[in-house]
Amino acid sequence: MRPTILNSLYSDITRLKGVGPKVAALITKVAGPYIANLALTPPTGLIDRSHRPTIADAIPGSLVTMTVTVDSHEPPPVKRRPYKVICSDETGFITLVFFHAHTDYLKRALPIDQKRLISGRLEEFNGGRQMTHPDHIVNPEGQDTLPLFEPIYPLTAGLSGAVMRKAVMQSVASLPDLPEWQEPNWLKKQGWSSWKKCLQSVHAPDSEMSLSTQNKDRMRLAYDELLANQLALALIRRDRKKIKGEAMKGDGTLRAKALKQLPFQLTRDQKNALKDVFADMALPERMVRLLQGDVGSGKTVVALLSMLNAAEAGAQSVLMAPTEILARQHLESLGPICDALGIKIDILTGRNKGIARRTILEQLENGETQILLGTHAVFQEDVNFNRLGLVIVDEQHRFGVHQRMALTQKGLHPDLLVMTATPIPRTLALTAYGDMDVSIIAEKPPGRKPVTTRTLPLERLDEVVMGIKRAVQKGEQIYWVCPLVEESDVLPLTAAQDRFESLRSALGEHVGLIHGKMSPQEKDQIMEQFHQGNLSVLVATTVIEVGVNAPNATVMVIEHAERFGLAQLHQLRGRVGRGDKPASCLLLYKGPLGETATARLKILRESEDGFRLAEEDLRLRGAGDVLGAAQSGFPRFQLADITAHGELLAASRDDAQLIIDKDGALTSKRGEALRTLLYLFGRDDAVKLLRAG
Ligand code: ADP
Ligand code: MG
């Protein structure tokens, strides 16, 4: 149960003055439904009213606060004209302008011959100075009621800054004193004050500096939020380890034979990753491991050897790919090796129907099939395994946390290995996959030639086509990618279609087209033709993005490269340079390029290191957008900014682990306070695990 001390913060925002159902709906949209959500929403900007010039010195367009004397009122001569109030100081005159004025109110607020403090934006009109609807009009005796600095909060249509600010201020005024959950020595070392003091100060900014992510008070709040995140993940990780898995320890015979079949030696990173996996599999608890490796780093062979380890131990494995094409490609590369080892491998996708499908399912259920490849179809309801020991998910970013959960809900607790080709910055990995163990393949297999990357404006398309023609004549193969256009589902098709037709007329009939709207059969057919070398140029939408292997392709042309994200461009480029011929990537852009797009293309020219690119991507775009945050289950932080607070994140991870080791049930005094922290940040899910345990 949530501690009662948080009750006021976890009350509905409708409890606040000025927040009726309509406003509540809007605030819920930008912050959340609880008073706590408002309190934990930091200001994004600042209105500075501290500039106090005389009328003569004031610069038109600027925000000013001035002391003036009210000289006269000029009601509108005719309807629809504004009401004017003339004021002055010793240096000149200013006209205050009011539309749809309430005369009574103005007479009371601006009595003749009296001094008033006014604040608002100064304008110049017909050579004179004026201010339309001042933000504040106060009696100089009541100066304190005029805020010299006003924080700005996130808004949405229909929600005014003043209403939002008033609501936030009320939430801050009602903050309870909470028990200290941070370690005292750590607090002292950082020079941080209490949670409440820091939060109050963050909501009372008095300079741009105080809004910075490096502001001391803000840093403490960021650390609180990160610690809540890391502690919750640590609790989930621990809970997961309680689930009994199967201890699988093969005798190594199949693996040894398979290694002999491979035309190469494993790299050091591949070996290390396998060591991690085998160690996990041998334990009686469930493995949940993430294998991160750039495109072409050789994750498939790691998957194969892991599945063979399961087979040696008499268990079945599943390798799940995000697309039909990829599943089939895995069958192509793994099938022959398995055949040679006498291992029965099969494939199940949405395409298998009727008797064929039934046979596949039977052989799976009676244990004949030891390795199953496929798409999501492998986890449909009527698919039953004989003894499923290992599940491998390829290309994680297409599978969310929810699919991970779905497995468990099926009553299956197989070891789980998730492979992703999208290098994730270390910081992001900590927050998003903190519940998983991680292995990394950083080095590429030896002998890979670098891909030469060039950028060209689209205006030079003709030259590019000529170049492609020469490459085709030399027997090379080319990918040509056309971008997605967001506004419509139809457009990307036409873009690719148009390009396909124009290239066909320029280059002849060895040009093919593949796009997401094709049936799986059609796609396979086209890929097969490209693979066989019957097609020289493959025009594609981004369906080729993930994992498809065509070792002969040497040129990647990306049209409208400025519309792609860095990670996506890197993925696409990874499709070429897989064979022994030198490869190149042409990024065609439509100018003029914005700052970010320019930076993106420049980094791509300079580096092929997926991890470095991922870090840069994070820096350029901010955490929210990297890899399409929504689909990949990255948490959204309100106070922490992981591009700015990376070090705090690492510290919070260690801190969380230490807490779990020392006081796993969170029953000490600090433990109790930490429970409050978890509830404060809405991590009730993690606290529940404590009670269940
Ligand atoms: P990805 O990590 O993108 O899935 P793959 O597993 O498809 O990469 O491997 C890419 C290519 O590299 C494949 O052709 C594979 O046979 C080859 N490869 C994998 N490991 C090695 C290695 N240690 N040495 C040489 N080539 C390798
Ligand atoms: Mg792969």
Q: Is 423 in the pocket of ligand 1 (CB under 6 A)?
A: no
Q: Which residue from 259, 549, 580, 608 has its CB within 8 A of the most atoms of ligand 1, so it is best to mutate? A: 549
Reading the block at residue 363, the tokens are 């052989």
pLDDT of residue 485: 52
Which band of pLDDT confidence, cut at 50, 70 and 90, is reported for residue 396? low
| Spatial CA neighbour of 69 closest among 47, 89, 97 | 89
Q: Give CA–CA dist 641/380, Å, rounded.
A: 39
Q: Which ligand is nearest to the CA of 446?
A: 1
Q: Is the pLDDT of residue 608 over 90?
A: no
Is residue 541 within 8 A of residue 493, CB to CB? The reply is: yes
Query: What's the average model confidence in pLDDT over 286-299?
Result: 88
Take atom 4 of ligand 1 and give the residue whose Cα is closest: 299
Q: Is the pLDDT of residue 559 over 80?
A: yes
Q: Give CA–CA dist 205/152, Å, rounded.
A: 10
Which band of pLDDT confidence, cut at 50, 70 and 90, is reported for residue 245? confident
Q: Is 585 in the pocket of ligand 1 (CB under 6 A)?
A: no
Q: Which ligand is nearest to the CA of 325?
A: 2
Q: Positive or negative, the Cα torsion across 17, 20, 23, 27?
A: positive
pLDDT of residue 378: 87
Q: Is the pLDDT of residue 503 over 80?
A: yes
What single letter denotes the amino acid at residue 18?
G
User: Using one digit for the tens of pLDDT, what is the confidence trace for 415-446?
Assistant: 989 898 877 777 777 776 777 788 999 888 88
Is residue 82 classed exposed, middle or buried when 0-12, 13-18 and 19+ CB atoms within 10 A define those classes?
middle
Q: Residue 151's beta-bridge partner residues?
A: 46
pLDDT of residue 329: 86
User: Using one digit for the tens of pLDDT, what is the confidence trace for 160-189?
Assistant: 999 999 999 999 999 999 999 999 999 999
Q: Which ligand is nearest to the CA of 319?
A: 2
Q: Is 549 in the pocket of ligand 1 (CB under 6 A)?
A: yes
Take atom 13 of ligand 1 and give the residue whose Cα is closest: 298
Q: Is 445 in the pocket of ligand 1 (CB under 6 A)?
A: yes
Q: Which ligand is nearest to the CA of 262?
A: 1
Q: Is 264 in the pocket of ligand 1 (CB under 6 A)?
A: yes
Query: What's the average model confidence in pLDDT over 496-517?
Result: 89
Q: Which domains does the chain have, with CATH numbers?
A: 1-44+160-175 (no CATH), 50-146 (2.40.50.140), 177-242+652-693 (no CATH), 255-441 (3.40.50.300), 451-607 (3.40.50.300)
Q: Give CA–CA dist 620/611, Å, rounded.
A: 14
Reading the block at residue 389, the tokens are 């020991």
Taking the centre of ligand 2 as the mean of its atom positions, its distance from the CA of residue 329, in whole angstroms, is: 9
User: Using one digit for the tens of pLDDT, what is the confidence trace for 7-40?
Assistant: 999 999 999 999 999 999 999 999 999 999 999 9
What single letter denotes the amino acid at residue 454?
R
Query: What's the average model confidence in pLDDT over 491-510?
Result: 83
User: Using one digit for the tens of pLDDT, what is the confidence trace for 190-235?
Assistant: 999 999 999 999 999 999 889 999 999 999 999 999 999 999 988 8
Take atom 27 of ligand 1 and give the residue whose Cα is closest: 445
Percent residues over pLDDT 90 in the chain = 60
Better-predicted residue by pLDDT, 238 or 312: 312
Q: Is 297 in the pocket of ligand 1 (CB under 6 A)?
A: yes
Q: Is the pLDDT of residue 252 over 90?
A: yes
Better-predicted residue by pLDDT, 296 or 545: 296
Which band of pLDDT confidence, cut at 50, 70 and 90, is reported for residue 671? very high
Q: Which residue from 261, 269, 274, 300 has its CB within 8 A of the most atoms of ligand 1, so it is best to mutate? A: 300
Q: Which ligand is nearest to the CA of 298?
A: 1
Lowest model confidence (mean pLDDT) among 543-547, 580-584, 614-618, 625-629? 625-629
Q: Give CA–CA dist 635/689, Å, rounded.
A: 19
- What is the 8-class DSSP label of residue 243? S
Q: Which residue from 259, 269, 301, 418 has its CB within 8 A of the most atoms of ligand 1, so it is best to mutate? A: 301
Round to the nearest angstrom and report the end-to-end CA distance of the chain.
15
Q: Give CA–CA dist 367/363, Å, rounded.
A: 6
Reading the block at residue 30, the tokens are 């930008």
Beta strands 128-132; 92-98: pairing state: parallel
Q: Is 301 in the pocket of ligand 1 (CB under 6 A)?
A: yes
Q: Which ligand is nearest to the CA of 441?
A: 1
Centre a 10 Å sphere on the Cβ of residue 214 and count the other Cβ atoms it contains: 11
Q: Is 299 in the pocket of ligand 1 (CB under 6 A)?
A: yes
Q: Residue 4's beta-bridge partner residues?
A: none
Is residue 340 within 8 A of residue 288, CB to CB? The reply is: no
What value does the mean pLDDT of the chain take? 88
Q: Is 537 in the pocket of ligand 1 (CB under 6 A)?
A: no
Taking the centre of ligand 2 as the mean of its atom positions, its distance from the CA of residue 301, in whole angstroms, is: 9
Please report the DSSP string for 57-95 in residue order.
TPPTTSEEEEEEEEEEEE--SSTTSPEEEEEEETTEEEE
Query: What's the average model confidence in pLDDT over 457-468?
Result: 94
Q: Is the pLDDT of residue 545 over 80?
A: no
Q: Could you tell me the CA-to-CA distances from 437 to 247, 276, 373, 623 in Å, in that order?
A: 17, 9, 24, 21
Range list of H helices, 351-395: 354-365
pLDDT of residue 492: 52
What single letter denotes the amino acid at residue 638?
Q
Q: Could you tell me the CA-to-CA distances from 200 to 17, 170, 174 in Å, in that order?
A: 19, 11, 10
| Phi then psi dihedrals of residue 130, to 5 deg | -150, 165
Q: Is the pLDDT of residue 628 over 50?
A: no
pLDDT of residue 401: 54
Take atom 14 of ligand 1 and give the residue whose Cα is closest: 578
Q: Residue 540's beta-bridge partner residues?
A: 481, 514
Q: What is the 3-state secondary structure (H, E, C) of 617-682?
A: HHHHHCHHHCCCHHHHCCCCCCCCCCCCCHHHHHHHHHHHHHHHHHCCCCCCHHHHHHHHHHHHCC
pLDDT of residue 631: 38
Q: Residue 453's beta-bridge partner residues?
A: 585
Beta strands 345-348; 371-374: pairing state: parallel
pLDDT of residue 243: 76
Q: Which ligand 1 atom sits closest to the C-alpha of 265?
A: 23
pLDDT of residue 409: 59
Take atom 12 of ligand 1 and give the residue whose Cα is closest: 298
Helix (H, G, I), strand (E, B) or coil at 605: helix
Contacts of 349 (CB under 8 A, 6+ apart): 324, 327, 328, 374, 375, 377, 520
Is 0.85 surpassed by the pTM of this model?
no
pLDDT of residue 550: 75
Contacts of 245 (CB under 8 A, 6+ apart): 283, 284, 285, 286, 287, 413, 414, 415
Is residue 587 classed exposed, middle or buried when 0-12, 13-18 and 19+ CB atoms within 10 A define those classes?
buried
Q: Is 420 in the pocket of ligand 1 (CB under 6 A)?
A: no
Q: Is 300 in the pocket of ligand 1 (CB under 6 A)?
A: yes
Angle CA(99)–CA(102)–CA(108) in degrees, nearest 5? 120
Q: Which ligand 1 atom sits closest to the C-alpha of 270?
A: 23
| Spatial CA neighbour of 390 closest among 406, 376, 370, 375 | 370
Q: Which residue from 297, 331, 398, 552 has its CB within 8 A of the most atoms of ligand 1, so it is best to mutate? A: 297
Q: Is the pLDDT of residue 67 over 70?
A: yes
pLDDT of residue 310: 97
Q: Is the pLDDT of residue 388 over 70?
A: yes
